[in-house]
Structure 1
Amino acid sequence: MSQAISATLPRTRKVTIGSALGYAIGDFYGGGSTTLTGTYLALFWTTFAGLDIAQAQSIIGVATIVSAVSSIIFGSLSDNFYRYKLGRKFGRRRFFLLLASPLVLITSLMWIPSLPFVAYFALYTLFIVVLQMFLVSYSSLPTEMTSDYNGRTLLSTVRMIVSGVSTVAIPAVGGWMLSTIGEDRAISYQTFAIGITVLFAIVLFIVSRTTWEMTPEEAGYDVAKIEAEQKQPFSFSRWCRNVGKLAVDYISTFRISSFRKFMGIYLLSHCMMDIFGQTFVFFAIFCWGKNTAFASMLLSFAVIAEFFKPVWGLLFAKIGPRNIFQLAFGLGIVALGGLFATWKLQPTMDDGQFVVVAIAACIFWFIARGLIWFPCWTVFPFIPDVDEIVSGKNRTSIFTGSTYFIARILKGFVSMAIGGYLAYVGFDSKASTASAGVQNGIVFVMIGWTVIGLVLSWIIALTFKLDKRTDGILNNEINRLKNGGSKADVTSETKQVVESLTGVPYEKCWPQAQA
């Protein structure tokens, strides 16, 4: 369904700090929206909306599946939106950013008390679908805004900083608002949540105006040919062929060796981060014997990790993805070992000593966790370059859709696995204390599972070869072939790089030459 890329104009527009910030503020919504709902929505529904916890969680669970399916739909739609007049007028990526701005305002209605269950379900489904629509197009922009390695790294670095700040700032502001107006009043949640949602809408509009993307011509679209095709009568057989081709497009993403490795690293490491996040409060309460306030206090130290993200960005550009992956996973394993040691040594410390050690161990973990999160979405904009030399197409949103689809499905299964295992070891969240067996079970999930995921990610990262040098060689070869160069004239080094990154014999790359 995507058009083959023809010779294109180079993307010479320079990414500056200002343009990077204009792009990155989008993750105030991308990261902040899930922080807002994850922290407060279920509590609001069960306290003021008349839902029980099973109903609230069922809405969120079903919406996770819906969001996985929607990522596939929006991935293809965004990549192919230049086939339609709206796309050629507003942009195939930025149109969806602009559309999300008014739609996100509608979702603020889910913060109104006493609506029917069906209304909350519909509104939350709209919320998660709009978020997925945004993320698929938004995550595709760095690949289109620049082909420069350092420029893409700057975009991703500033994005990660904004996302991290939003995940700390939103709970901080929310806590202040609730304590000021009153936690027992629905209006306190409504005022805060709706105010943040309005900010989300403003941010989305700004991002749609401060970013840029490939033109239809740069993306390889023949507008005259498309308009001629659209004048033809509807053909059911042609529609079926297009649906089949869409399925092939998504399946074909796993033909690319670098993408398979990226997915292995991303799914193993990031799903393990979710495991930690879902079990840390239980760990603090039942293993350390503290309360929720103590756990929240420790989590607030996550803001310290944000000051390290510029350092991670410089390191990424300096030492490359493979080395920073190894550094991240190594630090993560050591930090988790520190938390384990703190638990085992707690009986030997008085309360004052324990608090200091626990804070230090958590800060070390938050810094390591920030580094683990950082490289995956920083390296992602370079993955479509690897595919382009194989498929001859820019399929960024297809890759984004595949990533989100599989991640959402896997995260759903991981959440169920956590609940199933903790139930198996006898965990009871209403109990005041936990037996040694339950404590061991919590520690095994939070630390053991996470360490296993990081070790497997580390092993995969050792084989990851996409970096500044190889991406430069790849882009030079793509540009040479676009400009009519012969595949027979490829250098041995370029051929070796192409084959190692793609996992495809060079002779089968760049299908235009074969045609």
Structure 2
Amino acid sequence: MEKKKRIYTPKEVTIGRSLAYGLTDVMGGAAFTIVGAFLLYFFTTFAGLTAVEGAAIIGIARIVDAITSLVMGSLTDNFYKTKLGKRFGRRHFWLLIGSPLMLEYVLMWVTGMNFWYYLIVYLLFEIIAASVLIPWETLPTEMTTDYKARTKMSTCRMFISATGTFLATFVPGQIINMMGQHNAYAYFVNALVFALIFAACIMAANLATWEREITPEMEAEFAKAPKLGLWGGLKKQVKDYFSTLKIKSFRKHLLIYLFSFTGKDVYNTIFVYFGVSCLGISATNSANILSLSFVGILVTVIAGFLMVKKGPRFLFLSGYSIMFLMLGAFYMIYRIKPDNIMMWLIIVGLIYQVGRATLEFTPWNVFPFIPDLDEIVTKQHREGIYAAVMTFVRKSTVAIATFVVGLVLQSGGYKEGQTVQSVGTQDTIVSILIIGTGGLILIAFCVALTFKLNRETHDILVDEMNRLKEGGSKADVTPEAKEVVEELTGFKYEQVWNEDNAK
């Protein structure tokens, strides 16, 4: 009963509790930053896999993880009907069991195994991670309805995420440097250190947060819902997910998020290859360049201020422009091979990370506003569905991008286990870094030019929604409110505020 009382008892959303909530994103950010930066390199250098085999493992696992994310969205929403859900919480149960299961992370970083072993253990970790992250991402909505409190939690989460990204790039480089460039065991030790950190962070978040208790009224409403059966329920769930794409601003937000984050992932995946095979620096120094992501901790604070003053469109375009310039600078370093190459890499890498941190900060600070656009259209609260769709589509595209990187590497003549590659292979690696990363971010840049959601337009929309909630007539809408609602949602004003729009 004590456990039940704690998880259902609201408290003040302080900075400390917001930071504790955000600790789970140490795992969400760091685990996959390490995977993106080192796993394919580990597979091809130490595990004896080809680039295509390594990329296939990561790609297949991401697709399975994407499907798991969709399933988890519905599963955690309805988990309160079980004894475990009632005792430990429909969200918190998954954090409770996910904490010790983080130790599974180390199984990916052992040598001497075959393709199927690495595929299975990576699949398991992706499933475990999804079972933690999906319910965890709903907690701000569960814990408070206050806009400022949610913003505080979101900002603290991104601060923790930036810290985790820095640790995920800095710590591996130091461990590899201490244990030796060609010591595969260094990667296992690194994984063990982070697995323990992940477990502790998830448990801390579990203990510091709470969730909304399911009321008798909510259970009665659920009981009135038609029983669709397994197939009918699945069809409805898929229809719900597709219905999110009716919202114009969400479609744009999804495109910006997917292309920019996938571009960042391509950069992380290929950079160690770029450093080792194209510039002749060590894997440790390549990791050190990636670890310049520590600047993201400061950028998060500044971006939070600019988010209010300038809006997300300004942040999107500024971050992408910085990244374009620095990708060009990396290309010049490759072509010129200047003296003091590490000095130049540090300068360019540091500035690049300012753009990268802005890229990461902005979408998840825009996201809390998106369900309000859905609510004025459907009259429903569907935050969980939107979170699941974002996770599903992103992980699917990451899977494709990772596989394509491996395929292009192999077709470019990459030789597994060798640090010295042919000139043609080096050009292939550089093309992936510059054209692959830059091309994806360019698409996000073009979409961001048309993105209209900001604090002012959001306030106008929310004021109009509140007026409708209080019984106001659609006939009394102001021209400004009508224009904003139509621009942000993509619906004619006469069509909004209708439950049928969710079908």
Structure 1 distance, partners of 2:84, 2:466, is 29
Matched residue type, 2:420: S
Match of 1:366 in 2: 353
Match of 1:393 in 2: 380
Of residues 407, 427, 432, the one that matches 2:394 is 407
Match of 1:418, SS?
Answer: helix
* Paired residues, number: 491
**Deviation for aligned residue 1:500:** 1.3
**Deviation for aligned residue 1:455:** 2.4
Contact 2:172–2:287 (8 Å) recurs in 1? no
**Deviation for aligned residue 1:25:** 1.0
Contact 2:54–2:406 (8 Å) recurs in 1? no
What pairs up with 1:115-264 in 2 under 5 angstroms?
A: 121-170=119-168, 172-174=170-172, 193-216=191-214, 222-227=218-223, 238-264=229-255
Matched residue type, 2:323: G
In structure 2, the CA distance between the partners of 1:357 and 1:109, relative to structure 1 (3 Å rule), is: closer
Contact 1:427–1:438 (8 Å) recurs in 2? yes
Matched residue type, 1:371: T
In structure 2, the CA distance between the partners of 1:444 and 1:211, relative to structure 1 (3 Å rule), is: same
Structure 2 distance, partners of 1:481, 1:428, is 64
Instruction: Pick which of 35-44 and 93-102 moved more.
Output: 35-44
Structure 1 distance, partners of 2:255, 2:66, is 18
Structure 2 distance, partners of 1:106, 1:62, is 18
Matched residue type, 1:249: D
**Deviation for aligned residue 1:256:** 0.8
Contact 2:313–2:452 (8 Å) recurs in 1? yes
Match of 2:460 in 1: 473
**Deviation for aligned residue 1:88:** 5.5
**Deviation for aligned residue 1:327:** 1.2
Match of 1:268 in 2: 259
In structure 2, the CA distance between the partners of 1:64 and 1:419, relative to structure 1 (3 Å rule), is: same
Match of 2:273 in 1: 282
Matched residue type, 2:152: L
Of residues 320, 324, 328, the one that matches 1:337 is 328
Q: In angstroms, what is the RMSD of aligned CA positions? A: 3.6
Structure 2 distance, partners of 1:456, 1:330, is 12
* Deviations 1:99-142 (CA, angstroms, capped at 9, x unpaired): 32243345556667878876665443222111112222222333
Contact 1:63–1:125 (8 Å) recurs in 2? yes
Matched residue type, 1:18: G
Structure 1 distance, partners of 2:181, 2:402, is 28
Instruction: Pick which of 17-26 and 140-149 moved more.
Output: 140-149
Of residues 442, 453, 456, the one that matches 2:429 is 442
**Deviation for aligned residue 1:37:** 4.9
Match of 2:4 in 1: none
The answer to whether residue 480 in structure 2 is matched with residue 493 in structure 1 is yes
* Deviations 1:214-250 (CA, angstroms, capped at 9, x unpaired): 4546xx9632243577xx9xx6x54433222111001
Match of 1:94 in 2: 92
Of residues 371, 381, 405, the one that matches 1:418 is 405
* Deviations 1:257-313 (CA, angstroms, capped at 9, x unpaired): 111001111111111111111222232334434343432332232323322221111
Structure 2 distance, partners of 1:196, 1:45, is 19
Instruction: Pick which of 449-458 and 97-106 moved more.
Output: 97-106
Structure 2 distance, partners of 1:122, 1:283, is 29
**Deviation for aligned residue 1:252:** 0.7
The answer to whether residue 420 in structure 2 is matched with residue 432 in structure 1 is yes
Segments of structure 2 that go 5 or more residues without pairing to the other structure are: 1-9
Structure 2 distance, partners of 1:333, 1:65, is 29
Match of 1:378, SS?
Answer: helix
**Deviation for aligned residue 1:401:** 1.5
* Deviations 1:351-398 (CA, angstroms, capped at 9, x unpaired): 23x332232111111221111221011211221121122222222221
Structure 1 distance, partners of 2:288, 2:414, is 24
Structure 2 distance, partners of 1:433, 1:185, is 20
Instruction: Pick which of 39-48 and 318-327 moved more.
Output: 39-48
Match of 2:310, SS?
Answer: helix
In structure 2, the CA distance between the partners of 1:111 and 1:282, relative to structure 1 (3 Å rule), is: closer
